Structure 1
C-alpha cells in the first residue's frame, strides 16, 4: 500500500478522501451520537469540535442544541468542504462554523469556548499533550473537554485507553478527569471528560 493511501485516514484528501469521508460517517455514527449525548449544553454556549471529519457530529449537535453555537476545526480541506456541504443550513443560519486548521495551533482567543469535544481524532494528533494544552487555553474556566475513543486493545488504539488519556489530560493541566463507558459490548466506547 502506498504511503499516500496509508495517510488518508489521518488527513483525507481528494477523491479518495471523499470516499473515505463517507466510510468515516458510517463508521463513526454511533460514536458521534453517543458523544453528543454526553455533552451538557446550556443555551447560548459556544462549543468547539476538533477533527470533525465529514461533519456528521456537527449536524447532530446542531439538531440537539438549537440555541448553542458550534465551531468545528479539521486539518483536512477535503473534509472541511464535505462538512460545509453536509451542514449548509446550520452554517447559513450562523449556528455552525467550519474551519480548516490544526489542534496544535487553534486560531481562537483564550477562553473562547464553554466546551470542546473530539470523536476518534486524537489518534492522529502529532502531540496530544500539546494539543490538550492548546484546548485548555481556549476553554473558559470550568469548561470541559470530552474525548471519545474506541475501547479496544488493538495496538493502534491501546495507547489511547482511559488510563493513558487521563494521564495525558492531567499532564496538560486539566484539573479533574472522569471516564465514561457506553456499556455496549459489541461497540465499546470511552468518553474521557476533563475539566479546566
Structure 2
C-alpha cells in the first residue's frame, strides 16, 4: 500500500495541496481530458449524478454542463472548502463530507457515478466500487479516472510507494470483484503524456 493510501495521510496531504491544486491540476487532468471522459459517460439532463472524491470541483463543474442534479462528496475538508467557494455551498451542488468506501446514500440513488483523481487514494478500491454499484441504479453508469501504471520499472517502484497506480488488467480485476460485468477502459492524457490516465466506464447490472 502506498503512503497516500492511508486516509489520515491523504487528508493531511490534501489539506496543503488544496491551496495550489487548481494551479497544478491542468498539467495532469485538463479540460480536454474531462470533456473526453464526459463524452464517454453520455449524461442526460435528467440524470442524478454523484461525484465521488470531488476535490476542488473540477469534475463537478463539467458534470453541471449536462445536468443540474449533482451531488459531490470528498473526505478532505480543505478540498471541499475550495469547491464550496467555487460552486456555492448548497446550490447548485449538494456537497457531502464522506468516504468513498462508506457512501452515505441509499441504494439505487443515482443514475451515474463519476470519480476522477480519487481512486489512487482509496485503501480498498474494490470496497469503494461495490459502494458505487450499490448506490447506482440498475443499468446505471459508473466512470472512474485513475493514474495509469508507468512503463518504466523505476517509476513503477516509485508509484507503488506513493499511491495506487494500475493498468487495464488490474482495472478488470477490481471491477469484476466489485460485481461489474460490462466495462471498457480508455487511456487519456495531455499531449506530452497521452496515456497518463486510465478511464473506466462500467454499467451496473440491470438485476443489481
TM-score tier by shorter-chain length is 0.7 to 0.9
CA separation in 1, counterparts of 2:180 and 2:19?
37
2:109/2:136 contact within 8 Å kept: yes
Give the secondary-structure state (helix, strand or coil) at the position aligned to 2:18.
helix
The equivalent residue for 1:84 is 84
**1:120 equivalent in alignment to 2:125:** no
2:47/2:111 contact within 8 Å kept: yes
CA spacing shift, 1:82–1:140, aligned 2, 3 Å: same
1:12/1:18 contact within 8 Å kept: yes
- Which segments of 5 or more consecutive residues in structure 2 lack a partner in the other structure? none
Give the secondary-structure state (helix, strand or coil) at the position aligned to 2:111.
strand
CA separation in 2, counterparts of 1:49 and 1:11?
20
CA separation in 1, counterparts of 2:42 and 2:184?
14
2:40/2:201 contact within 8 Å kept: no
- Which segments of 5 or more consecutive residues in structure 1 lack a partner in the other structure? none
The equivalent residue for 1:51 is 53
CA spacing shift, 1:170–1:106, aligned 2, 3 Å: same
Deviation at 1:8, TM superposition (A): 5.3
CA separation in 1, counterparts of 2:62 and 2:72?
13
Which runs of structure 2 are paired with 1:25-64 in the superposition (5 Å)?
A: 25-26=25-26, 27-30=28-31, 31-62=33-64, 64=65
2:10/2:121 contact within 8 Å kept: no
**1:192 equivalent in alignment to 2:193:** no
1:170/1:177 contact within 8 Å kept: no
CA separation in 2, counterparts of 1:17 and 1:195?
33
Give the secondary-structure state (helix, strand or coil) at the position aligned to 1:12.
helix
**1:150 equivalent in alignment to 2:151:** no
Deviation at 1:35, TM superposition (A): 2.1
Q: How many residues align?
A: 185
State the TM-score, normalized to the length of structure 2.
0.78
| Cα RMSD after superposing both structures | 2.5
CA separation in 2, counterparts of 1:159 and 1:35?
19
1:42/1:68 contact within 8 Å kept: no
2:108/2:135 contact within 8 Å kept: yes
CA spacing shift, 1:12–1:185, aligned 2, 3 Å: closer
The equivalent residue for 2:132 is 135
2:52/2:115 contact within 8 Å kept: yes
Q: Which moved more, 1:155-164 or 1:135-144?
A: 155-164
